[in-house]
Structure 1
Amino acid sequence: MTTDPQTRVDFTGEAADLLRRLTAKHGPLMFHQSGGCCDGSSPMCYPAGEFITGDADVLLADLAVDGLAVPVEFWMSVAQYEYWKHTHLTVDVVKGRGSGFSVESPEGVRFLIRSRLMSEAELVAFGLLGD
């Protein structure tokens, strides 16, 4: 679980445990959150560098996970970021099948986002107060 108060994204303990297991199988990992419906709204987990990012994406965080040598990048499409820039995101994991492209799919679980509005202190820290 990440605990840095200045991060825009955290993992639950269950998500961090799953990331450690998945990293042992696939190597370093990354997330990408796009907009859309259905699986397009779920955070997708890929081997690091497998999903090509560009000008249409924002790197929200490089997240340290205890037991992992390399931080986990969390990317979001620019369009989705415009909707969610005032929210703090927590990556969680639940039973069920997600997208076949996300590395957790064969495990019978899927990642999902839990969100809350940022506090005033967080908005100030990220330069978002008044946006």
Structure 2
Amino acid sequence: MLADDVLGSKRERNERPLPDSYIKAYQAISTDPNNELIVACRGDEVIGVQQITFTPYITHQGGWRATIEGVRTSSSERGKGLGTELIRFGIQRAKERGCHVVQLTTDKKREDALRFYESLGFKASHEGLKMHL
């Protein structure tokens, strides 16, 4: 799913065996109590994923934030509400963990994703910057 779109197909590697970098990332995520990898399944088929990272911040009186990343649904499931369920689940987890903010980023080229997140109440309140290393 990570490679199943125009942007992901350029940066992800969908091959067997799976590159070791993905295995190492999964191991780090699965052992970190401030990271959750959410996997939605229908039977034995994975149909959606997202990662939630919980981070304490020195700002906002030392409050915690939840960052939602890597949200993907299988192409056969798009438009059926699974993405909404995933994001609402992420918001609920943030509340359960006492976070005061849920944040996410999406590539500016993902116009549909931007509209989707805005429809769920997210606001483009900050300008984000990245540096690829």
TM surpasses 0.5: no
How would you bin the TM-score normalised by the shorter chain?
A: under 0.3
More helix, by proportion? 2
Bigger radius of gyration = 2
TM-score, reference length from structure 2: 0.28
**Greater RCO, CA 8 A, separation 6+:** 1
TM-score, reference length from structure 1: 0.28
